Structure 1
Amino acid sequence: MAKPIGIFDSGVGGTSIWKEVAKILPSEKTIYLADSANAPYGEKSKEEILRLSIKNTEYLLGQGCKIVLVACNTATTNAIDYLRSHYAVPFIGIEPAIKPAALHTKTKKVGVLATKGTLSSSLFHNTSKLFAEGITVLEQEGKGLVEFIEAGKIQSKEMKTLLQGFLQPMLDQNIDCLVLGCTHYPYLMPVLKDILPEHINIIDSGEAVARQTKAVLEQHKLLSDFDGDPVHVFYTNAEVKVLKELIDSPTAQVSYLDF
């Protein structure tokens, strides 16, 4: 089926998920919405997150998308149940990778770096309760990180200082796994590797989400039979510079859209 996969995030962070999707599904066209004008979602009320998620979903469906990937932890934990119950297409969500962290930890101490909206959600707490029995889960709100990433300040001194302040208390508690609970955060990997000891296992959910997207497309018989190079369309309602820098695809079209 030649219809595109729709993807939205509170900004550019979900492109970390898009890259995994494009890798595992090379024949699929995609449309990506970066709602950077409203980033970060993690600071907003559940009602506002739901409103923005509906707005993004309806734009993507209006563009003929066959499936919607909610490439935002906060939007997933606060809005995906509503979206699934009100729209006919399949939805793929993102949530912090607590389960693999719980399986890999030897110290029984796992750190989670996420937004306030994710950490305070019932879905996050239910997931932790289900998969992390006997494990100490140390939560840390990454306040300010999304804003730095959206501003293209990933390698800045301020970013490193902010991250060190977030990570040191968890290191002092002897974590050996760090879960990245926001799709923006994989772009911090180079900085995180500079700060964290080598034995710390950094876990994000990008590859698992891409595999799940493929499985759902197969299940619904929605896989593309396109045999050329698919077009990838990216829209942002803020400055396009940072989004362009993060996308490395010869078939990508990045532009401003007032949505």
Structure 2
Amino acid sequence: MNNNPIGIFDSGVGGTSIWKEIHALLPHESTIYLADSKNAPYGHKTQDEIIALSIKNTDKLLSMGSKIIVVACNTATTNAIETLRKNYTVPFIGIEPAIKPAALKTKTKRVGILATKGTLQSSLFSKTSELFAQNIQIFEVVGEGLVPLIEENKIDTIEMDLLLEKYLSPMITSEIDYLVLGCSHYPYLIPKIKKIMPSNVSIIDSGEAVAKQTKSQLEKHNLITSEVIKPRLEFYTNKSTSTLKQLLKEYSKSINISFLDF
């Protein structure tokens, strides 16, 4: 079992930002990544719909032999991970906005969070904010339209620039000093965000923390691979493979990207 792959799923291609961190920390581990781009974004769906999609993705990853599952989607984590953990015995790693480190480090006591509607309205996000962000002003912005543009490989477009200017301007006016990225798609926008935000604003995403937690859980359950041969790195999408290929082009010689109707 310990030589089986790590399973990872997201509402689309964004979770590859998480995969990159996991692969960097655990280079010998085989991985299977599911990009549910056909149903992206999850942020506007009801909780029941998000749970149903998360169960579908989990069942597919388990049928492919996954030993642990990383829910590389903030919306799926905040809405469905409790249900997944109750219904399956495999370990699950979730991802949620990094409110805690931002709240602990902020000097202005003003923190911005850019996330999907589904994440910001979830009970898990609400609990996390109440727990760690007392006496901190949280400026929440729904990144409407950002995920579809990333899914369509339209990161470097005027449309993307205009949306980011629109969403980030109020945070600049509010003098935040930390910006939390609450969607696994958004790390791909960091170069653009840095051009817009003042240099004193720190940007936080959850990728590295998720990778560390994945390693910790693998060790806890004695699931670290014993193989030192080249790992299998498989990516499946139920839509066009072109955006995945673009986002992962530096890994093109070691990965396999395929269409899969799931």
TM-score scaled to structure 2, two decimals?
0.98
Q: Counterparts of 2:3 and 2:152 in 1: how far apart (Å)?
A: 34
246, 250, 255: which one aligns with 1:252: 255
Corresponding residue for 1:158?
159
Q: How far apart are 1:251 and its partner, in Å?
A: 1.8
Which residue identity does 1:182 align to in structure 2?
C
Corresponding residue for 1:131?
132
TM-score scaled to structure 1, two decimals?
0.99
What's the secondary structure of 1:43's corresponding residue?
coil
Q: How far apart are 1:141 and its partner, in Å?
A: 0.3
Structure 2: unaligned runs, 5 residues or longer: none
Q: Counterparts of 1:196 and 1:161 in 2: how far apart (Å)?
A: 14
Which residue identity does 1:68 align to in structure 2?
I
* Aligned length, in residue pairs: 259
Q: How far apart are 1:103 and its partner, in Å?
A: 1.3
Measured on the aligned residues, the alpha-carbon RMSD in Å equals 0.6
Structure 1: unaligned runs, 5 residues or longer: none
What's the secondary structure of 1:3's corresponding residue?
coil
Q: How far apart are 1:155 and its partner, in Å?
A: 1.1
Which residue identity does 2:190 align to in structure 1?
M
Which residue identity does 1:209 align to in structure 2?
V
Corresponding residue for 1:7?
8
What's the secondary structure of 2:139's corresponding residue?
strand
Q: How far apart are 1:228 and its partner, in Å?
A: 1.4
Q: Counterparts of 1:218 and 1:141 in 2: how far apart (Å)?
A: 36
Q: Counterparts of 2:65 and 2:200 in 1: how far apart (Å)?
A: 45
Corresponding residue for 1:148?
149
Q: Counterparts of 1:207 and 1:20 in 2: how far apart (Å)?
A: 6
Q: How far apart are 1:85 and its partner, in Å?
A: 0.5
**Correspondence 1:203 to 2:194:** no
Q: Counterparts of 1:229 and 1:134 in 2: how far apart (Å)?
A: 49
Following superposition of structure 1 onto structure 2, how do residues 55-204 of structure 1 map, counting pairs within 5 Å?
55-204=56-205
Q: Counterparts of 2:115 and 2:7 in 1: how far apart (Å)?
A: 24
Q: How far apart are 1:188 and its partner, in Å?
A: 0.2
Q: Counterparts of 1:32 and 1:163 in 2: how far apart (Å)?
A: 28
Which residue identity does 2:219 align to in structure 1?
E
Q: How far apart are 1:194 and its partner, in Å?
A: 1.0
Q: Write out the 4+ residue segments of structure 1 that deviate beyond 4 Å after TM superposition.
A: none
What's the secondary structure of 2:43's corresponding residue?
helix
Q: Counterparts of 1:23 and 1:82 in 2: how far apart (Å)?
A: 29
